[in-house]
Structure 1
Amino acid sequence: MKVSVVVPTYSLDRYPDFCECVDALLTQTYDDVEVVVIVDGNEVVYERVSEDYGDEESVVSYLSHDDAGPLSRANMGAIQASGEVVALTDDDAVPKKDWVEQLVDAYERHDAIAVGGKMTADWVDIKAEYIPEEFYFLIGVTHRGFPMEEREVRNTFGANISFKRDVFLKLGGIKQGGIDPSSVQGRETEFCSRLGQIYGEGVIYTPDAVASHKIYQYRTEPKWLVERAFWQGYSKRAIEKLVPESSDEESEQLRRLLLRYIPRRIWNLLVSPSKTRATQLAMLFVLLAATGIGYLYGILRWR
């Protein structure tokens, strides 16, 4: 089973991180791996990629038109890929050495049409202790409340997910559906929701397929997190309009927050007070409120 891994990139500022990602893919424990690099509208980056990886038989690179956007980059990569499986990751993610091997193993054991793995945090500066783990999804990391065991889920993160290529193409790839791409997050959710409705199968989540995500300092700033939470709420509503009944997992996570995680955090704070616990609880309420406001804005925008 050949696996084509799509790696989008666009900036020289992220080029060292991009190289770390590609180098990790070239040293996988699984042999039959193709790396499909999609450079988004930056000829300087494209030329640099060609210079550094042009001699690698397993690396192919393409230059998209100016500012094609993440949707077009993912879809273009799937079209250009030659593997039976198309895996998606980001230029600021670093897959573990056995990442592809674990994905393939899950495909074979489950006869799956889609498989995804776990995202862990690689704190570039220092760990932001005030971010509650329930909201780690805002920084592209598997959050508290996500399954810990291998099981079928609606979707995993866009930097650690894969599909059978023929299925991906038959469904027309990840669709934008008229939604402003600069505002909507979690675009893989829309595709995976359609996948589940049409094929009756979700994504097999295997926590053994691990990739780390670089958490730059700006992603830990409270203002950035609050804005991110707002647009996350907006995105959920927008995707509901594209794919009705696609929000079951968010509803279940909200129930866990209200009935389990928040009461537990309050109790722990009362029993053993600490600045970290108090800050995390306060931040949890702030992010929850921002997400809710974004969702309400989405209702008004997409009614």
Structure 2
Amino acid sequence: MKVSVVLCTYSMDAYDDFREAADSVLAQTHDDVELVVVVDGTEPVYERVRGEYGDRDGIVVHCNDENVGLLRSRNRGAELASGDVVAFIDDDAVADEAWVARLVDAYESHDAVAAGGKMVPAWVAGKPAYLPSEFYWLVGVTHRGFADGPGEVRNTFGSNISFRRDAFLDLDGFDPDIGGRKGDKNLQGGETELCARLGREYGQGVYYVPDAEVAHKVFEYRTDPMWLLNRAFWQGYSKRAMETLVPDSGDEESAFLGKLLFRFFPNRVKRAVTGPSATQALQAVALLVFTGVVGLGYVYGAWKW
């Protein structure tokens, strides 16, 4: 089974991170991998990528005529790909060498139409003591409570997700307006919307493979409390917007909220009291604060949408 991995990039400042991402794809243990690089309208980046990777077998390099955004770039990469499966990874992530092989196993063993894996943190500036693992999703990392093990889920993160290419193209790929509806660039959820359509059309979700790991670099600015609070607010807004755009998209969030309030938070409080642990206490407080801010964003989204 041939797998095409689409990697989009656009900034010269991120080139070293892009190179690490690209090299991790080229180092996969699976023996039939194609790397499709889409440069989003930045000619100097394209020239550098083409000079370093353009003459190598199994690599496709393309530059958009102008900056069109991540989702359109991913769709273009899927069109250029030649694999049976098209997978996506971001330019600030690094794939485990067995990532593709483990995704392929999901297709071959479970007849999956889509498969994705686990995002693990690569703390560039150190892990913030106050950030509870239940809210790792704020920094693009698979959080505590996401899934109990392998099996079907609604969707995984966009930096570790794949589809049978014919199904992806049949669905017209990602909706490029997600992230820009009503002129609001803070709307997130391209993979949520696509996977909802996938479920309606094919009767399947994404097969989750926790051993198919991709490390996401968590840069220092993403551990700033104000950045995280802002992110939490707009994630709440996006969740409400997704419920409007995709009426069947909210079940997983509701289930997670139940775990958060009735299992994870009481457990953290108990450990903080019986420990006692200043870190556990801090994370218990942060869990409540982040939950409240997500809720405020959700309420704001209900008003806007």
Indicate the SS of the match to 1:121: strand
- Contact 2:4–2:34, Cα closer than 8 Å, also in 1: yes
- Contact 2:87–2:161, Cα closer than 8 Å, also in 1: yes
Match in the other structure for 1:185: 188
Deviations 1:252-302 (A, max 9, x none): 000001110111111111111222112111211111111111111111111
Indicate the SS of the match to 2:86: strand
Query: Where in structure 2 are the equivalents of 1:223-302 lying within 5 Å?
Result: 223-302=226-305
Q: Distance in 2 between matches of 1:220 and 1:277?
A: 18
- Contact 1:41–1:68, Cα closer than 8 Å, also in 2: yes
Equivalent residues, number: 302
Match in the other structure for 2:166: 166
- Contact 2:189–2:242, Cα closer than 8 Å, also in 1: no
Indicate the SS of the match to 1:209: strand
In the superposition, the TM-score normalised over structure 2's length comes to 0.96
Match in the other structure for 1:34: 34
Q: Distance in 2 between matches of 1:275 and 1:163?
A: 43
Match in the other structure for 2:4: 4
Query: Where in structure 2 are the equivalents of 1:87-126 lying within 5 Å?
Result: 87-126=87-126
- Contact 1:219–1:225, Cα closer than 8 Å, also in 2: yes
Q: CA deviation at 1:43?
A: 0.5
The alignment's C-alpha RMSD in Å is 1.1
In the superposition, the TM-score normalised over structure 1's length comes to 0.97
Q: Distance in 1 between matches of 2:88 and 2:190?
A: 12
Match in the other structure for 2:54: 54
Higher deviation after alignment, 240-249 or 109-118: 240-249
Q: Distance in 1 between matches of 2:193 and 2:35?
A: 25
C-alpha spacing 1:156/1:181, structure 2 compared with 1 (3 Å): farther
- Contact 1:69–1:181, Cα closer than 8 Å, also in 2: no
- Contact 2:271–2:277, Cα closer than 8 Å, also in 1: no
Write the letter of the residue equivalent to 1:13: D
Q: CA deviation at 1:40?
A: 1.0
Poorly superposed stretches of 4+, deviation over 3 Å = none
Q: CA deviation at 1:181?
A: 6.2
Q: Distance in 2 between matches of 1:20 and 1:153?
A: 29
Q: Distance in 2 between matches of 1:136 and 1:186?
A: 16
Match in the other structure for 2:85: 85
Q: Distance in 1 between matches of 2:173 and 2:16?
A: 29
Indicate the SS of the match to 1:14: helix
Percent of aligned positions with the same letter in both sequences? 55
Write the letter of the residue equivalent to 1:191: L
Higher deviation after alignment, 249-258 or 142-151: 142-151
Q: Which 5+ residue runs of structure 2 have no aligned equivalent? A: none
- Contact 1:7–1:90, Cα closer than 8 Å, also in 2: yes
Q: Distance in 1 between matches of 2:285 and 2:122?
A: 24
Q: Distance in 2 between matches of 1:143 and 1:43?
A: 37
C-alpha spacing 1:181/1:174, structure 2 compared with 1 (3 Å): farther
Write the letter of the residue equivalent to 1:130: Y
